[in-house]
Structure 1
Amino acid sequence: MSSLVTYANRTFTFTGKLTIYKVSELKNKILEGYNGEATKAGDFFLDLTAVETVDAAVLQLLISFKNMLVKAQGNLKLKASAQTFDSLLDLFGMPADTFPKGK
Structure 2
Amino acid sequence: MSINAKHLATFILGAAAGVAAHKYLQTEEGEKLLEDLKTKASDLKAEAEGAVDKAPEYFQELKTKGSEAIKSNFPDAEKFLKDLIDKFTTAKTTAENEGDVTVTPSTAQL
Q: TM-score range by the shorter chain?
A: under 0.3
Kindly indicate which of the two structures has a greater share of residues assigned to helix: 2
Flag the structure with larger Rg: 2
Q: Which structure shows the bigger proportion of residues in strand conformation?
A: 1
Higher relative contact order (CA 8 A, sep 6+): 1
Normalised by the size of structure 1, how large is the TM-score? Answer: 0.24
